[in-house]
Structure 1
Amino acid sequence: MQSHTPPSNLHGIVTNVATKLMGATSSNASTVSTEALAELVSYLDVDVSFLRHNDHKIRATVLVAEWPVRPYIPDPDPLHTIYFADADPIFAMAENAKEPVIVRPQAQGEDYRQRIAEAGGAPMISLATVPLLSGDVTTGVLGFVKFGDREWGEDEINALTVVATMFAQVQARTNIEEQLTYHAAHDDLTGLPNRRTLLAHLDDRLAAHRPGPVPVLLLSLGRLKSINDYLGHVAGDQFIQGFAAELRMAMDGLGLVARIGGDEFVAVPSETMDLAETRRLAENLTARLTEYVTIAGEVINRIVSIGVATGSPGRDSPSDLLRRADEALVSAKAARVDRIGVFSREMLARREIRADMELHLRHAIETDALTVEYLPEVDMPTGKVLAVEALVRWQHPTRGLLLPDLFIPVAESLNLTGELGEWVLNAACADMARWRANGVGFDTMLRINVSPVQLVATGLVDTIAGTLEKFGLEGTALGVEITESTLINDLISTRATLCGLTEIGIDIAIDDFGTGFSGMEMVRTLPVSTLKIDRGFVREIDTSADDLAIVRALIGLARALDLTVVAEGVETDGAARSLLREGCSRAQGFLFCRPLPAAATEQLLAQGSVATTVAT
């Protein structure tokens, strides 16, 4: 505290205090208030001063500043928070006082002395207190104590009333500032720290001088969308609030808990942990948080998925650590077993590849950076090539040849399946037209895959018909493959589209048959010509009685409906022989031929068949 000569009049002291308090903020209000009290104590020649704020929620008065500052403050400080119910008469008066209160030993009668005695025989003092007011609410008290007797002049009390008003203004201003700061750092719905606070915390934990590893658990609360849709957003908010409260209790004293988005929360344990230790914590949280809860009268099984990751101080950033936890969470949701995913480098590599594809797939379609390879469909006894299935590939400039299993999901997420499918249709028909121009492929069907988006989109029949006309191909030259599960997405639109395709001569095949939900009735009522048995049932048909029984049933269904049946994924002689014994002679798979580029496919069509040694 800097020494200075106080002003010689009340007007000067009030002006000095006002100047100090004008610069008060939530971060320095206590210090500035202490300096102002020191100046007032010096001018008024009193022994003690204090500034206290009222907390009416808990009915208590809380110490904000004092002068002189006590040389030793015990912990806990008995003067910091005093509850009005337990307070002595002097403190109790501060709860709702609206006018200054003056207490002098000489001016008090027997009643005052009795109250002092009840309070424990406190020393005789002269006290002046002035309430801090906000409208009709008493928000605090400004007090001055003189040991012994002191006369308080009216001008002094008036000046202190002005000063108390200034302190009340500071209190109101800092309260607003603290509220804004709080809301900027916390989630409105749950009161938990928000993403900004989490990032600041992780930034500190990941500083070079801090210990590590730094653990992070990213939690996703399942079924929130269903609750919002079915029970309403009020119920959804209750669901989130209940989970936040449970998570806060589960992590009590163990670290920071934050909400960073709709159904996502982050827990950062205070202690350093490796991945194994962090996973054990995740298992404990899962056991505690996965339970039945009642929301809006409905009993709901609360499901939690957790992604686990750790970061190294001085090397990893908060975004690095959260990205790893997010990748682990994706893995946890996909697993559907214990719903806990632990980060690995392979996860990050997959995420980087996906991000790369999301950025560049549209450009690849627009610039013909894709290519088509063809997988022959053969008659197993003779090796004759009956059809070729067009399979799209992406010759990525830095990642090499990418198979559709990698980028088709990306195309779906970007709503590019329609554009991609149209590109494949044009490229494959162009190749077929070129083969026929060179005198081959006239008795071979070209099969292309059609996505669910294409199937229900208006204009697919016209698009395919226009493409066939563009390249001089008849409808019977083309076969369309759709996955079995596609049939139930929009049965009315699907039936109309398939009927339109068959009217122009196109063969309709159900791909991956046996894995979906179509059933005999749906297949019977749709204009389907071919069933392609999923490779999962074919691979071990010669050693698995279950697979053999399924394939036998599917072949029997195809025979009963007079449909062509094709086995996919034939890779062994044993599987091929088993299929032939069950009456399936058409197949495709690596046993006969791998996918070929267009030029090599043309050569194969010129030969007319592949080498085969399959015998029943």
Structure 2
Amino acid sequence: MVFRTVLQVCLIWLVSCAPASAAQARIPVRVGVFDNPPIVTAAPGVPPEGIAIDMIRWVAEREGWQVTYVPDSFDNLLARLDKGDIDLLAVIAYSDERAKRFQFSQQSLLGNWGMVFRHAQADIQSLPDLEGKRVALMRGGTHSQALVELSKQFNAPFTPVYVDNFPQVLEAIAERRADAGAVNRVFAALNAYQPDLAATSIVFNPVFVHYAAPKHASPALLAALDRHLAALKADPQSAYYDSLRQWLEATPSSRALRWLPWTAAAVGSLLVLALAIAGLLRHQVRRQTGELLQRADQLQHEIEQREQAQAHLNQLAYFDSLTRLSNREGSRIALNRMLTRMQGTDERLALLFIDVDRLKNINDGLGHGAGDLLLQQIAQRLQSVLRAHDHLSRFGGDEFVVIVSEIGETGDAELVASRLLQSLAAPIDIGSTQIYSSASIGIALYPDDATSMETLLKHADTAMYQAKELGGNRFLFYHAQQTERVVERLTLDTRLRQALERDELLLHYQPIVALDSRRIVGVEALLRWNDPERGLVMPGVFIPAAEDTGLIVQLGEWVLAAGCAQLRDWQKQGLADQLTLAVNVSTRQFEGRRLVKSVEQALSRSGLAPECLELEITENVMLIMNDDVRGSLDRLREMGVRLSLDDFGTGYSSLSYLKQLPFHTLKIDRSFVSKIPGQAGDTQIVTTILALANGLELQVIAEGIETQEQYDFLRGQGCQFGQGYLMCRPQAADSLVAMLGRKALFWQQADVASVQQYAPD
């Protein structure tokens, strides 16, 4: 009997302790959350919800986590994550700077763009309009910092008004504590219907949302999230896509109005009660019924507002507001669906990556409004030549992507690419201005070039850049060698930046000669790169890469400083009292009136007089002509600096601009000089340029003179100055010193043959 009693007590103790033991076996996980709907909703007193929370709960059930949510402001949560006070942060945008502080999940939750909202009465449409305005920003947010940096690039500084979360950003705008504010695209759509708010066209900084853990924490939590997220993303029917549909596409009644069933129940109870006491409270029934009908109307109105917000959310999430085409996310979803459907079949697909040529010149010259109109018309033209089942999207900026399905052979993709280029051949009217546009197209084929979405996009993008390097307005198919060329280009860019830091750059100088007296009147500074591995590298190899990356600005400033210092040194030696220094200038150096500052600094540090410096500017400056560029040219002329229009006749020249702009000199391009006096067409062009310059009272320099016949012809036609291998090849500064002391240059006819083996510099 005693044994039975003891056994019963032990069984009861085991049963009572079993849940506690099981609970103790679960892994405690502290998850930081802040209000960022619909990714995370963290309202006070309510359990958190949203896409990120759905995924954490799904993983927690399978990994045995005991999740505790820690609500706080985003800034405070970052500090807690640094200290290890929380184990996971539910939503954080990835950046290289943050990756130094925290561990990030390899799998992103979703992609997100920054958007700028304004008060309905604020006149803000584009980024330059933010100058001097008050802009609400979430403290510590990636989009906040990105907008601050972007405003600096556009020279449009604003006053930040920092708050703790996105809802407070919109509150600041509505209460007129801020003129505008930055939020992410997903959150934006839920609030777009508010009467005091209006969306602007400023969309920027695509980021990817991840989970994060403390830097030195165990990677087990993030590894579990990555493993499950990767599997869920690979299955279109998984809980991941169910969550996206619920929070991004579901009708509001399924989640936003969860109190509606309770309200309906209350209404029913009131009606039953009213019927029971109808005889006594008939006047109250009528009053309450009216109130209920009014409340029902309010509920219906709120539902309609939520439905409008959801529709707007879908538009922001998957469509481009400017062109009404699918955006980057919509394009990726469409491509992924097609590739999933085509797996295991013999079907083929072509992906065309399109980049509009020289859009930056349009934006700089005519303004971003003109650039937007151009993109809209380009989108319409591209769409007009595609088949109904082909998919066109705006991938971002000046890039479009076309998915061409149902192709039988490579020629089908080639035919589509040819039609796309042809659609852009005719000029496009932007107000009263006609613009000629073109595009560079890269083509990758499925399954020939790749079978995954990411690789297919990468290969098409690589082929597009190769087409752009070849001059644009063409298409190219992807080849493996193109990837090698891209790697070489990236390596070149890195080594060129290092060359600037390691003082591997040097200048050679080519004399400019007065054709009548053969006296040296100036020198042109020509950049060289003394690569320790490849030796002396000519500018044709590295200047195009520097133009693309923007490094040309730093290179140009280095050439200005080094050239001015060298000429001043020669002057101190009594070798160059009457000489001018010609320096080539890239159009990119005009951005932000930076060129004027660079020239002022170079002259001040070297002590060189402004009239000794001549800046050679290509005709492409006409394409970016605006008030800033015109003001820079005028300021340089006022300083006394001479201005020369380089390579005249090879690019875009407007005679009205030529008459108005403060140039001193025209340079005839070597492509014309090389064919005179033998070819009639080029001879006529040269004589016309000389007559034009004479009429405009401009001096003329002919470059690339290699024969005595060219020299004699140009001199006979009244050309004042020239340079070329006939007179002197470019030389290092030390080699040129002896020549600078001469009164005139003399050369023999026999010397001409020895220099013609060299290509023009």
For Structure 1 versus Structure 2, the TM-score category normalised by the shorter chain is 0.5 to 0.7
Alignment of 1:539 onto 2:674: yes
Say yes or no: does 1:570 pair with 2:709.
Answer: no
What is the correspondence of 1:191-270 to structure 2 with a 5 Å cutoff? 194-197=330-333, 215-219=350-354, 229=369, 250=387, 252=389, 260-261=395-396, 264-269=400-405
- Kindly indicate whether the alpha-carbon contact (under 8 Å) linking 1:386 and 1:445 is maintained by their aligned counterparts in 2: yes
In the alignment, which residue of structure 2 is the partner of 1:445?
580
Identity among equivalent positions (%) equals 29
Post-superposition offset of 1:512? 2.4
SS at match of 1:459: helix
CA distance in 2 between counterparts of 1:336 and 1:475 reads 36
Residue 526 of structure 2 is aligned with which of 376, 391, 394? 391
TM-score (norm 2): 0.44
Partner of 2:158: none
Q: Is the 8 Å Cα contact of residues 374 and 598 (structure 1) preserved in structure 2? A: yes
Contact 1:257 1:265 in 2 (8 A): yes
Please name the residue that 1:553 is paired with: 688
Within the candidate set 564, 582, 598, 2:733 is matched to 598
Alpha-carbon distance in 1 for matches of 2:695, 2:461: 50
How much has 1:596 moved relative to structure 2?
1.9
Superposition map of 1:188-587 within 5 A: 194-197=330-333, 215-219=350-354, 229=369, 250=387, 252=389, 260-261=395-396, 264-269=400-405, 273-274=409-410, 276-283=411-418, 306-310=441-445, 319=454, 321-330=456-465, 339-343=474-478, 351-380=486-515, 384-396=519-531, 401-435=536-570, 440-452=575-587, 454=589, 456-457=593-594, 458-460=596-598, 462-469=600-607, 473-475=608-610, 477-486=612-621, 488-489=625-626, 490-502=629-641, 507-515=642-650, 516-517=652-653, 519=655, 522-523=658-659, 526=662, 528=664, 530-560=665-695, 563-584=698-719, 586-587=721-722
**CA offsets, 1:173-198, max 9 Å, x none?**
xxxxxx9xx99997686579845446
1:609: which partner in 2? 745
**Alpha-carbon contact 1:293-1:302 (below 8 Å) kept:** yes
> How many residues are aligned here?
429
Q: Is the 8 A contact 1:567 1:584 kept in 2?
A: yes
Mark the CA change 1:237 to 1:562 in structure 2 (over 3 Å): closer, same or farther: closer
2:645 and 2:663 in contact (8 A); partners too: no
Task: Report the Cα distance in structure 2 between the residues aligned to 1:232 and 1:518, rounded to whole angstroms.
Answer: 24
CA positional deviation for 1:392: 1.5
Residues 560 and 599 of structure 2 are in contact (CA less than 8 Å); yes or no, is this contact kept in structure 1? no
Change (3 A) 1:449 1:194: same
Aligned partner of residue 250 in structure 1, secondary structure: coil
Query: Once the 2 structures are TM-superposed, how far is the Cα of residue 423 of structure 1 from its aligned partner?
Result: 1.1
Counterpart contact for 2:440–2:475, Cα < 8 Å: yes
Moved more, 363-372 or 516-525: 516-525
3-state SS of the aligned residue for 2:666?
strand
Gaps of 5+ in 1: 1-24, 26-132, 137-178
Distance in 1 (CA, whole Å) between partners of 2:583 and 2:604 is 16
In the TM superposition, residue 389 of structure 1 has moved relative to its aligned partner by 0.4
Amino acid at match of 1:494: L
TM-score normalised by the chain length of structure 1: 0.53
Provide the rounded CA distance (Å) in 2 between the counterparts of 1:604 and 1:402: 25
Name the residue aligned to 2:759.
Answer: none
- Is the contact between residue 425 and residue 448 of structure 1 (CA under 8 Å) also seen in structure 2? yes
Structure 1 CA distance for aligned equivalents of residues 714 and 436 of structure 2: 45
* Alignment root-mean-square deviation, CA: 5.6
Structure 1 residue 409, shift from structure 2 partner: 4.8
